[in-house]
Amino acid sequence: MTKIAPIALTIGEPGGIGPELALKAWLRRTEDALLPFCLLAPMRIIEQTVKQTGFNVPVVCVSDISETHDVFANALPVLDLDDVDAPIISGTASPATAQIVIDSITHAVTLTNENAASAVVTNPIQKSALYAAGFKHPGHTEFLAELAGPGTIPVMMLANSKLRVVPLTIHIALSEVPKQLTSTLIGQLCHITADAMKRDFGVANPRIAIAGINPHAGEDGTIGLEEQTIMIPAIKKLRDEGLNVIGPMPADTMFHDEARAEYDVALCPYHDQALIPVKTLDFHGGVNVTLGLPFIRTSPDHGTALNIAGKGIARPDSLIGALKMASDMAHKRLSTGA
């Protein structure tokens, strides 16, 4: 059997909980049957985190990610990156360490593109610190899309063991949603989602449910017209193109147990409509997956938690979920040759 390449795990914000989560994930490597992963970070940060938290985690500096499999059972492999001359203070995000964050992400993508790593798993970043250092991208996803190359359209999926959701629009005001919700957008994101469900999740004929934007999905046009003028024509076109799409469905009745059994992934017009159900069903185990990239990328579905960084109390559930999902996706691609 072909040995799958290790996962490239980024450090995220050095002053946040990312380094601590990496240690905790390694401690649960056997319990959660984790694919070997290598942390991309300056060695001194990880040694500082071990000392600060008191976790019994041996760390080994590797010169190449290919050494991960030999090391992982007995120590956390760290691919030592170039450091900066700045202190790392838990609970404080600093523009002075922004280059570490950027280098970790860039190197992880390079390793994955070279097939030296099977996936990129990113720890949370503090965007304000990156912006202060001159970072020009709105966030992780857009930066990854640029690294992926021209024409890349990244799509955010939030997933756990009970639900997969894709918001059709993300960080915009609710008043802007109807303006951005177009038939073209729905069609584009549906096709990207369907392709990913086949390639990365092993669903041969993915069932895609689309939530309406208005209460009761517009109730035949009596509570808003977006379903009639935008969503229904888009769904009809997608069905004509061979996709298994249902909707628009009333959002208030599509997330209970029986309803979720009828689809594999749900697409929702706006951010909270998608994220509230997935976080309610499993708040700590949610995973952020970026579809539409040529490489696999997952991430914990939470932030840097500066208020608890360095205290040893951060829960690793979401990072472990991200590592496991990345592993599952990598195995699916390997088995299908995708």
Where a domain ends, among 236, 258, 281? 281
> Regarding beta strands 287-291 and 155-159, do their DSSP bridges make them parallel or antiparallel, or are they unpaired?
antiparallel
Whether residues 206 and 146 share a domain: the answer is no
Examine the pLDDT at 337 and tell me if it is beyond 80. Answer: no
Tokens of 104: 């970790």
State the distance between the two ends of the chain, measured CA to CA, in whole angstroms: 17
Confidence of residue 3 (pLDDT cuts 50, 70, 90): confident
Per-residue pLDDT of 79-122, as tens digits, reads 999 999 899 999 999 999 999 999 999 999 999 999 999 999 99
Q: By residue range, what is the domain housing residue 171? A: 162-281
21 and 44 part of one domain: yes
How sure is the predictor about 1, in pLDDT bands with cuts at 50, 70 and 90? very low
CA 54/CA 114 separation, integer angstroms: 36
Q: Is residue 174 part of a domain?
A: yes
Examine the domain organization and report whether 275 and 298 are in the same domain: no
Same domain, 138 and 263: no
Instruction: Indicate the average pLDDT of the chain.
Output: 94
Considering the domain architecture, whether residues 209 and 316 belong to the same structural domain is answered as no
DSSP symbols for 141-154: HHHHHHHH-TT---
pLDDT, position 89: 92
Percentage of the chain modeled with pLDDT above 90? 90
Q: What are phi and psi of 271, to 5 degrees?
A: -50, -60
**Same domain flag for 17 and 147:** yes
Judgement on whether residues 109 and 218 belong to the same structural domain of the protein:
no
- How far apart (Å, rounded) are the C-alpha atoms in residues 117 and 144? 16
Same domain, 19 and 144: yes
Residue 239 lies in a domain: yes
Task: Mark whether 99 and 229 lie in a shared domain.
Answer: no
Q: What is the pLDDT of residue 335?
A: 77
Q: Kindly indicate the confidence band of residue 140, based on its pLDDT and cuts at 50, 70 and 90.
A: confident
Residue-level pLDDT at 338? 64
Q: What is the mean pLDDT of residues 322-329?
A: 96
Residues 308/312/316/318 CA torsion (nearest 10 deg): 0
Q: How confident is the model at residue 7 (pLDDT cuts 50, 70, 90)?
A: very high
Three-class DSSP labels, 290-327:
EECCCCCEEEECCCCCCCCCCCCCCCCHHHHHHHHHHH
Mean pLDDT value across residues 266-283: 95
- The answer to whether residues 249 and 268 touch, using CB atoms and an 8 Å cutoff, is no
User: How many alpha carbons lie under 13 Å from residue 50 in its C-beta half-sphere?
Assistant: 16
**Residue 222 has what DSSP assignment?**
B
- Cis peptide leading into 154, omega within 30 of 0? no
Q: What is the pLDDT of residue 2?
A: 61
Residues 46, 145: one domain?
A: yes
As to burial, measured by CB atoms within 10 angstroms (0-12 exposed, 13-18 middle, 19+ buried), residue 338 is: exposed
- The answer to whether residue 34 scores a pLDDT higher than 80 is yes
User: Do the Cβ atoms of 290 and 223 come closer than 8 Å?
Assistant: no
What pTM value is reported for the model?
Answer: 0.94
Q: Length of the chain, please?
A: 338
